[in-house]
Structure 1
Amino acid sequence: MKVGITGGIGSGKSYVCKRLQAHGIQVFDCDAVAKQLMRTEPTLRQQLTELIGPDTYTAEGNLNKAEVARFLLSSPSNAEAIDAIVHPAVFEAFKKSGLNWMESAILFESGAYRLVDKVVAVVAPKEIRIKRVMDRDNISREKTLEWMNRQMDQQEVISKADFVVMNDGETDLDNQIIKIIEQCNKQF
C-alpha cells in the first residue's frame, strides 16, 4: 500500500516522518528529491534553463534560488510551468524508489495523491503552526501568514485525507502513528 503524508507549513510533517522512521518506515521526501533533481538531472536542468533563462544556474553550476524564486513568484503561470517540469520527474523518482510512503506538502495540488492509496494529513492549530514557522525560519508573522495563505486550507486537506495526525505538542503522536501503521497493514 502506498501512503502519502501532507499538511500545511508548520504542521510538523517532517517530524511525523522522523517518527515513522523510528517505527521502521522510510519516507520518500518529495521536496528534497525535487531540489536534488533540479541540481543534478541534466534534462531537468536544460528544461529549467530554457524556461527561466540563462541565470537559472550559477557559473559554478548551482541552482540560482533567487532567480528561480523571482520567476516563480512573478506569475501563477510561471509556477505552473516549473511544476510541469519538476513534478513528473519527482513522481518517476518515487515510483523507482521502492518506497511506499511519501511526504509532500503539495500532495493534492501537484497530483501526487494519484500515486498513493491512502493520505495522512498532519495538522496543528493555526497559532502553533505560525509560531513554529516564525521560530524555524526567523520570519515575521505577516510573512508566515502569507505563506500559509498560499497553501490549501487545513480543513480542505483534512476533508481529502484518510487519516489525520494531530501534531499539537500535547496529543500522543506515536500512538496516532502506530494506529495508522496498523490500519494500513490490515488493508494491505
Structure 2
Amino acid sequence: MKKIGITGGIGAGKSLICKIFELLGIPNYPADARAKWLQENDPKLVSQIKQHFGAESYSPEGTLNRSYISKIVFGNDEKLRILNKLVHPAVANDFYNWCIQHSDKPYMLKEAALLFETGSYKQLDATINVHASQEIRLDRTLARDPQRKEEEVLSIMKKQMSDEERLRMADYVIFNDDSQSVIKQVVELNQKLSI
C-alpha cells in the first residue's frame, strides 16, 4: 500500500482536497487532528505531558489545557521540541496501526500541515502539495477563523515553509486557486496513484 503525504500552507485547502479523495474511496489520516486526539486519549502520552509540563496541562475532566500549553511552548523552542518529541512518536505509532486497518486500498493519504518541516515525508512514498497564493490563503483563513487577526495568520505563514520550497519538494501539486478544477486534478491524480 502506497502512503502519500498531502500538505500545504494554512488556508490552502488541504481538507477540501482530502474530502474529494475520500469520495473516491481513498482513506485519509488527518495527522494534526489525530495528534490532538491522542493528547487526550493516549494514556502514555497524557502521562508524559503531565510529567514534563505539570498537572495543569489538563483540566479535571481530562481535556488538554491548550492555552496553558501554548503559553509554555510558543516562543520557547526547547519546550516546543520536548512537546514534539512526545507527540510525534505517538502519532507515528497511531499512523502505523491505522495503515494496517486500511491495507486493502491501493494507496492512502496522510494529511499534515508540517509534513516537510517535521521530516515525516521521508516515511512516505510520495507527496502532494495543495497550492494557493498567500493572498488567497489569508482571505480563506480569516473567513474560516473569524477569531483570528490578520497579523496572527501572517505570523503562522512565516513559521511555515515557503510556497516555493513546498512546490520544489512535492512530487505532485494540486492548484486550489480557482485557476482550474480541483475535482478534475484530484480525479486525474487518483488514476495515476491507483496504478
TM bucket, shorter chain? over 0.9
Moved over 2 A (4+): none
**Residue-by-residue CA offset, 1:34-78 (whole Å, 9 max, x unaligned):** 011000111100111111112100112111011111112031111
Cα distance, 1:108 vs structure 2: 1.3
Which deviates further from its counterpart, 71-80 or 33-42? Answer: 71-80
Q: Which has the higher helix share?
A: 1
Cα distance, 1:169 vs structure 2: 2.8
Cα distance, 1:111 vs structure 2: 2.2
| Whole-Å separation in 1 of the counterparts to 2:149 and 2:67 | 20
Q: Determine the structure 2 residue equivalent to 1:136.
A: 144
| Whole-Å separation in 1 of the counterparts to 2:116 and 2:52 | 24
Q: Determine the structure 1 residue equivalent to 2:32.
A: 31
Aligned residue pairs, count: 186
| Whole-Å separation in 2 of the counterparts to 1:68 and 1:134 | 24
Equivalent positions of 1:66-81 (< 5 A) are 66-81=67-82
Q: Determine the structure 2 residue equivalent to 1:184.
A: 193
Q: Please tell me the root mean square deviation across aligned C-alpha atoms, in Å.
A: 1.1
Unpaired runs of at least 5, structure 1: none
Does 1:119 find its partner at 2:127? yes
| Whole-Å separation in 2 of the counterparts to 1:109 and 1:175 | 29
| Whole-Å separation in 2 of the counterparts to 1:140 and 1:35 | 23
Q: State TM-score, norm by structure 2.
A: 0.92
Equivalent positions of 1:22-171 (< 5 A) are 22-98=23-99, 99=102, 100-138=108-146, 139-171=148-180
| Whole-Å separation in 2 of the counterparts to 1:56 and 1:118 | 36
| Whole-Å separation in 2 of the counterparts to 1:93 and 1:130 | 32
Q: State TM-score, norm by structure 1.
A: 0.95
1:31 counterpart SS class: helix
What is the identity, as a one-letter code, of the residue corresponding to 1:146?
S
**Residue-by-residue CA offset, 1:10-34 (whole Å, 9 max, x unaligned):** 1000110011111111100001110
1:101 counterpart SS class: strand
2:184 to 175, 179, 183: 175
- Percentage of matched positions with identical amino acids: 34
1:2 counterpart SS class: strand
